[in-house]
Structure 1
Amino acid sequence: MGIGSIYAVCALTFAEKLYQGLIYADRWKLYLEGLGYSLQITLGAIVLGTVLGIVFCLLKISTSRILRFIANVYIDVVRGTPVVVQLLLVYFVILSSPDTSKLVASVLAFGINSGAYVAEIIRAGINSVDPGQMEAGRSLGLSRSQAMRFIILPQAIKNSLPTYASEFIVLIKETAVAGYIGMQDLTKMSSTIISRTYESSVPLITVALIYLAITLGLSKLFAHLERRMNVGDRR
């Protein structure tokens, strides 16, 4: 890009930059396309992470030393390494195939990462349940696994909802690094627009506002769910 072009971009008014970054050549569609991929990654990862979290939480609180060891290794390794490194390992090492889907790799990487945090969130929820609940279930003739499934886990999940909501919101923001493997997510699309317009303020502000709207909306949704659950308890 020449010096003259740089001066020309700098001389644009904000309205002109807004037009270049959003309206011209239907560039707003790129944001929607990127947002679609970001939401797919997030939803897929939170489902996978929740399943893995429950499984490894149960392994960690089991009576078997081997199962507890496996769970501890998984949780410690995942929580102790950056998510972007995990993403690169999944895409370039674990799924090292020319036909590897970037979307699948992203969901897998972020899901594995989220699973470690969800496991600890649910474990903390289980620990918050009165131990007498397990004893009461056993006295009613339930096995340990049945008491855990029907008595402890429902209460633990409800107690974990605020922290789980925070993990969901953090996960949405973490998916912004999916562009490291060439995934055309929301942040990557903003980079594409910047490369075409040589102007970064509008694309970056737009992406920031979209993420802000999503996270604020989810915060209100989870707060509403929490209030509904508390109303049920008071009844």
Structure 2
Amino acid sequence: MSLKKNTFIALIPARAGSKGVINKNFKKVGGKPLIFFTISEAKKVRSIDQIYVSSDSIEIINYSAKMLVSSLLRPKKYSKDDSTAADVVKHFLGKLPERLRAIDPYLVYLQPTSPLRKATHINQSITLVNKLNLNSLVSVRKIDSLLYKSLNIKNNNKIVTNFKENFSISNRQSLPDAYTPNGAIYIFKMSSFLKKGSIPINGSYAFIMNNEESLDIDSTEDFVRLGEVFQS
């Protein structure tokens, strides 16, 4: 274990099931399973002290061993369609050795569905966490500001604005910038997670990535786009 001030533990969640694409995390692109790209990039990051893959799939567990990273077999009850990232992290922390829990490590949560997130992005994020003494960081991408014009329709067909009412009649140029988490990188202190009971978002430092880097694999069409990126 490194003797540097902060300890960073990468957690890669990779369950077998998926609504959109069966066994998505192990589906091959360019001859490599999707999870390969996240494990491979994480291994290039020297600031990461240890890498764990959490999965309910023996196939993925065995593959992780071949890639020389640690793994944790996740119970099926934490691997359902409605299981949350918080469920995965809670199970992982419950299995983390006490010697690691005692030093309140940072978790670097890296989803395999972000295969264009590179080691440079992870390195830059960890550098910011160390330099700015951050409790948490979340990667984001810019989205259309027309989001601020969105409405809800309540009982009796009455409109309720989701944001400030004047936004709904503002021109696009006057609307604030809007961002969304892109799912590529979440870094947070163990204590911050345990206090909140979920991955911290509010108050987290925003690490901005562009739209191509932010490709999130959720469908067969996304796999086609990924293949096109690799071929270009």
Q: TM-score, normalised by structure 2?
A: 0.27
Greater Rg by CA: 1
The structure richer in helix per residue is 1
Calculate the TM-score normalised by the size of structure 1.
0.27
User: Relative contact order, CA 8 A, sep 6+: which one is greater?
Assistant: 1
